[in-house]
Amino acid sequence: MKPSSKRRVLLVGAGHAHLEFIKSWRASDHELAEFTLITPHAHAIYSGLLPAYLLGEVRRSEIQIDLQSLAERRGIRLQLGRLRSLSIEHRHIVLADGESMEFDDLFINTGGHTPTNWQSTAPRCLHVKPLSSFLDLWEQEANTIQRIAIIGAGAAGIEIAASLSQTASAKGKREVHLIEGGAALGLQLSGYWLSRYWQRRIQGQLNKLGVHLHLNTQIIGLPRHPELALGETRMKFDLILAATPTEPPQFNIDQVEQPMPVDSRLQVNMPTKTANTKPRVWIAGDCISKSPWPRSGVSAVRQGQALRSLWHESITTRNATERKFHLKPQRPQLKLLRMGDAAFGIWGKYSLGMSRLWLRLKSWIDGRYMQSFQR
Ligand SMILES: Cc1cc2nc3c(=O)[nH]c(=O)nc-3n(C[C@H](O)[C@H](O)[C@H](O)COP(=O)(O)OP(=O)(O)OC[C@H]3O[C@@H](n4cnc5c(N)ncnc54)[C@H](O)[C@@H]3O)c2cc1C
């Protein structure tokens, strides 16, 4: 079934899921709709390659995806902007600069939002997300940053601390402190905590890399000045970087047509015969509020790979009855944490140990991922 006029499809946020959507997009989709990608930046940064960038193995341009070029190759319009609010009833979104845009189908993939206590206007105190702010600071001031505190010893904090401890500023080898509120590293394996044995092995590797680990040290938000109380002592830092969990963003969504036509499980309500005229909204990645999916790049990629066919089927299906399309969470997921010249592997709830082989596998996966945007 062809719609009488083309649908206006807005893709808000260039997260992992939308990048997959755009990759799987076909030229024939233009017969059905006009697509616009809305993004605050002309580049998307691939977090998987952040350790390699911090280690100086790759340049910033090599961990970024050029959105203008990607969109042009697919015939998608790119608009620089940031979503502020949306109205499903009136089928429009409003951007931060006040511009309003209408839609028939809306996709949201804007990633996790930094909680307010982890946002700071103090120079040299910031959250790792958005990655672009951290990288901007790092590009300009890395040479003067010698003593660093990383707050949060989850997967991201561990990788960043391990990488930075291997690098030097103009003053010499960097001093890196990794601070964790809990009694152990914040690594979870499909909801299970890492065993004591592997806790010790990873802590041993951090120690070998020269990272100062502070467990049981609760920090409740970013300070106004780059100073922290660690035990009895107050320490000054050149950089305090929070790698604490993000949360789903709170957009100003009108309440008229709640709930939105996609539930938190990425379960899409397939349209009825007449529903082609109704607006539909899809949400993917870390911005989903209640989700059985682990919050990870892997989940967002998997969701994105399904999004285009879900959307296409919803537009072209002739089925008069409402159907539900279930996308099962991908479990188990492979996580490879870079730690110096080796990587620690996690497969679902199993630890795969620390090995150079895992680092080679990670480099191969990361390289293949970045290459997929050249086509
Ligand atoms: C150091 C580090 C390493 C990581 N390594 C891994 C890994 O190896 N494997 C893994 O699976 N996960 C990893 N993660 C987690 C992973 O990065 C996130 O889970 C993943 O990026 C979430 O993807 P997403 O599609 O939800 O959105 P994101 O990739 O976060 O992208 C969201 C995009 O939306 C844009 N945006 C934000 N607000 C708005 C707005 N209002 N309007 C328009 N656009 C907006 C942002 O600029 C951004 O480009 C890592 C995270 C970090 C910090």
Model confidence pLDDT, tens digit, residues 89-105: 788 889 999 999 999 88
Quote the ligand 1 centre to 243 CA distance (angstroms): 13
pTM comes to 0.91
Which of 47, 97, 187 is the pocket-test mutation for ligand 1 (most atoms within 8 Å of CB)? 47
Pick the residue whose CA is nearest to atom 10 on ligand 1.
297
Quote the ligand 1 centre to 16 CA distance (angstroms): 7
CB 257 within 8 A of CB 278: no
Write out the residue range of the structural domain in which residue 217 sits: 116-245
CB 145 within 8 A of CB 238: yes
* Res 292: pLDDT: 74
Same domain, 123 and 34: no
Q: What percent of the chain has pLDDT over 70?
A: 88
Pick the residue whose CA is nearest to atom 34 on ligand 1.
110
Task: Using the atom order of ligand 1, give the atom closest to the CA of residue 38.
Answer: 43
Give the mean model confidence (pLDDT) for residues 255-260.
35
Quote the ligand 1 centre to 171 CA distance (angstroms): 32
Task: Using the atom order of ligand 1, give the atom closest to the CA of residue 131.
Answer: 53
Quote the ligand 1 centre to 111 CA distance (angstroms): 5
Total structural domains within the chain: 2
Quote the ligand 1 centre to 297 CA distance (angstroms): 7
* Res 259: pLDDT: 32
- Answer yes or no: is 220 within a domain: yes
Same domain, 37 and 76: yes
Residue among 53, 58, 154 at smallest CA distance from 112: 154
Residue among 236, 370, 276 at smallest CA distance from 33: 276
Give dist(CA 280, CA 295) in Å, integer: 23
Quote the ligand 1 centre to 74 CA distance (angstroms): 22
- Answer yes or no: is 190 within a domain: yes
Same domain, 214 and 174: yes
- Answer yes or no: is 146 within a domain: yes
Model confidence pLDDT, tens digit, residues 40-90: 999 999 999 999 999 999 999 999 999 999 999 999 999 999 998 887 778
Task: Using the atom order of ligand 1, give the atom closest to the CA of residue 15.
Answer: 31
- Answer yes or no: is 375 within a domain: no
Give the mean model confidence (pLDDT) for residues 345-369.
95
For residues 291-302, one letter each, b for 16 or more C-beta atoms within 10 angstroms of the residue's C-beta and e for the rest, the string is bebbbbbbbbbb
Confidence label for 134 from pLDDT (cuts 50, 70 and 90) = very high
Which of 303, 325, 347 finishes a domain? 325
Q: What is the CATH number of the domain that holds 34?
A: 3.50.50.60
Q: What percent of the chain has pLDDT over 90?
A: 63
| pLDDT of 230 above 60 | yes
How far, CA to CA in Å, does 114 sit from each of 244, 248, 257, 370?
9, 9, 27, 26
